Amino acid sequence: MKRLVLALAALAFALPAAARDWNVDAARSSLGFVGTYQGEAFDGTFKRFTARIAYDPADLAHARFDVTVDLASAGTQNAERDQMLPGADFFDVAKFPAAHFVSSAFRRAADGGVLADGTLTLRGVSKPVTLTVKFAPAGGGATLDVATTLKRLDYGIGGGDWADTSVIADAVTVKSHLVLTPAGG
């Protein structure tokens, strides 16, 4: 009997750990960006996105993010800009309706924070991206804040006359605040 208990205990420790699965509370979560037009910063949001999140700060080896963004849902509270974003010079939603980020690895930064490495596919272009990750347990759930800075021209956003970085800055900050609830809970 003692051998059976020891064998079961050894088997339990040999099983791989799994990061906790989370649901995103869409009504209380946001995904946005900050761009610069003629020297003035402007905020934008994506109203529709889905995110599959598995995360445990104590088990980064099994963490994963898989996020799909409906590009037609972008808005900046500027009618002219909002009409242009879905067009061929910017997101070209007729050909590329969604952006997709999937993580490949998580690691500790020098400051002790967490970085998520992955690939962002936008307008048919896939590039490596690193997100800063801030996870905070809150009651029975958690919040997850991520941010990165992209170069819009790397993805062909703002082509043609809009490629001039003195008019629209190349750097765009992307940030998200997700309110999480335990999956299955």
Does the pLDDT of residue 18 top 90, yes or no? no
Residue 165 located in a structural domain: yes
C-alpha 56/C-alpha 171 separation (Å) is 30
Total number of domains constituting the chain = 1
Q: Domain containing 51: what range? A: 15-182
Query: Is pTM, for the whole model, over 0.85?
Result: yes
List of residues 6+ apart from 46 with CB closer than 8 A: 31, 32, 33, 69, 70, 71, 73, 74
Q: Is position 177 within any domain?
A: yes
Distances (CA, A) of 126 to 51, 103, 118: 18, 13, 10
Q: Flag whether 10 is in a domain.
A: no
| Burial label, 140 (beta-carbon count in 10 A; 0-12, 13-18, 19+) | exposed
**In the predicted model, what is the mean pLDDT of residues 18-28?**
92
At residue 80, φ and ψ (nearest 5 deg) are -65, -45
Q: 91-125 burial by CB neighbour count: b if 16+ within 10 A, else e? A: bbbeebebbebebeebeeeeeeebbbebebbbbee
Q: Determine the average pLDDT of the residues in 92-107.
A: 98
Residue 8 lies in a domain: no
For the residues of 123-143, what is the DSSP string, one character each? TTEEEEEEEEEEEEEETTEEE
CATH of the domain at 175: 2.40.128.110
Residue at 135 is within a domain: yes
The answer to whether residue 172 is domain-embedded is yes
User: Would residue 5 count as lying in a domain?
Assistant: no
pLDDT digits over 109-151, tens only?
999 999 999 999 999 999 999 999 999 998 899 999 999 999 9
In a domain, residue 158? The reply is: yes
Q: Let me know: does 116 contact 146? Beta carbons within 8 Å.
A: yes
